[in-house]
Homo-oligomer: A and B are copies of this chain.
Amino acid sequence: MNGNRGAQPTILDVAARAGVSKSAVSRVLSGTGRFSDETRERVERAAAELGYVANAMARGLVSGRTHTIGMLVRDASSMVYTALHAVMERRAAELGYRVVTTTGVGRVEDEKSALAALVSMRVDGLVVCSGLLPSAEIAEFAPRIATVVAGRPELHPALSSVYCDEVDGGTTIADAVANAGHTTAVVLTVPADNAITQHARSRAMVDRLRGRDVDVVDLDASFVRPTGDIAADVVDAMRHHGATVVMCPTDRLMLELCDVLRRRGVEVPRDLSATGFDGVFPLANAWIGFTTLEQPIDRIGREAIDLVIGRIEDPARPVEHRSLRGTVITGRTLLPR
């Protein structure tokens, strides 16, 4: 094996075994240039026998292309990112690209290093799916690598973005609440520096409800707050303000909240209506019955990939921003009053 201890076979090993030059091997295996049938046959057999797999690093180094799209994800365990990941992977595969993902483990510092890891791999394009990383950090590499932000609107002039229209979504679901006849509502709001998108949607809920003359109890749902504390506040709002519904910024939080509330004797929807946001598998299931806003994840993922690949293959393509509307899923957690 080229003398090097049990390591991977190289193109030279294949060439030697096939009795041809490495140029010939390269041509056959990449299907470019000319070669005789005889050469092809010998090379293919040698490669198969050796279990040869070309070194992508060497290949990428000289060709300057990796046919790989890097996906930066905020939290590998989030259902929204999981769904996005699956869609993007599929679409990229259709277009001849591979997706590799990395994750910051929650802190901005980690996300920066995860992004740097992707850049160091020289991925051809970047899709950033995180409401956490500041645009400036993302934009730093945009002049060199085609970059698209998925899942959040992005103002930066060098960045394209595809996202769910959070304001429309928050407004729409707030309308559902108002239409159901509720007159006092709790809205769990998230600070902007926690997650830009969640902040936007919860603000939109508050604004719309107020516009429709619904009393709003605005409760802080920062990521650092224990769900138990939030639940306590919600119960308070029920007692003191007569709130009959709680609007959550995500289905995930809604689920945790329902759980904690039950332990405190408050049953959703019997005692309190609730709405979520995201509408992603598996919580977006009729049996579970969440009333929520379904983000157009399929379209977001697909268009994000189309956008990056578009810019990879034609860097002159102008920056684009696509705002996609979600739709309300009517479940059983929002009762009319």
Residues of B within 8 A of A7 (CB): 64, 144
Query: Chain B residues with Cβ under 8 A from A117's Cβ?
Result: 56, 98
Please report the C-alpha to C-alpha distance between residue A302 and residue B83 in the assembled complex, in whole angstroms. Answer: 24
CB closest residue in chain B, given A260? B287
Evaluate contact between B53 and A119: CB separation under 8 angstroms. Answer: yes
Verify if A8 is at the interface (C-beta below 8 Å from B).
yes
Question: Quick check: B76 and A122 within 8 Å, CB to CB?
Answer: no
In the complex, A32→B274 CA distance in Å? 57
Q: Which B residues lie within 8 Å of A85 (CB)?
A: 76-77
Return chain B residues, CB-CB under 8 Å to A53.
116, 119-120, 141
- A287 proximity list for chain B (CB < 8 A): 255, 258-259, 262, 268
Please judge, given known A-B contacts A57-B121, A61-B57, A262-B287, whether A82 and B89 are in contact too, CB under 8 Å. Answer: no
> In the complex, are the beta carbons of B93 and A82 less than 8 A apart?
no
The smallest beta-carbon distance between A55 and chain B, in angstroms, is: 6
Q: Are A98 and B89 in contact (CB under 8 A)?
A: no
Point out the residue from B54, B100, B110, B285 that lies within 8 Å of A101, measured CB to CB. Answer: B100
Of residues 45 to 72 in A, which have CB atoms within 8 Å of B's CB atoms? 51, 53-61, 64, 66
Within 8 A of B (CB), among A79-130: 79, 82-83, 85-86, 89-90, 93, 98-103, 105, 110, 116-117, 119-122
- Number of A residues, CB within 8 Å of B: 58
Which of A60, A79, A89, A258 has most B Cβ within 10 Å? A89
Let me know if A192 is at the binding interface, CB within 8 A. no
Q: Is A75 an interface residue (CB 8 A)?
A: yes
| A288: min CB distance to chain B, Å | 6
A267 (CB) vs chain B CBs: closest residue: B287
Cα distance A100–B143 when bound, in Å? 24
Within 8 Å of chain B (Cβ to Cβ): is A6?
A: yes
For the complex, give the distance between the alpha carbons of A141 and B262 in Å: 51
Question: How many monomers of this chain does the complex have?
Answer: 2
Indicate if the CB atoms of B76 and A120 lie closer than 8 Å: no
Give Cα A124 to B283, complex, Å. Answer: 36
In the complex, A35 has a CB within 8 A of chain B: no
Q: Do B61 and A89 have beta carbons less than 8 Å apart? A: no
Please measure, in the bound complex, the distance between the C-alpha atom of A286 and the C-alpha atom of B256, giving whole angstroms: 9
B285 touching A259 by the CB < 8 A rule? yes
Which B-chain residue is minimally distant from A82 (CB atoms)? B82
| A128-143 at interface with B (beta carbon < 8 Å) | 140-141, 143
Some 22 contacts from A to B, beta carbons below 8 A apart, are A6-B144, A7-B64, A7-B144, A51-B141, A56-B117, A57-B57, A57-B58, A57-B66, A57-B121, A76-B82, A77-B86, A77-B281, A79-B82, A89-B103, A89-B105, A93-B105, A98-B117, A252-B282, A256-B285, A259-B285, A259-B286, A259-B287
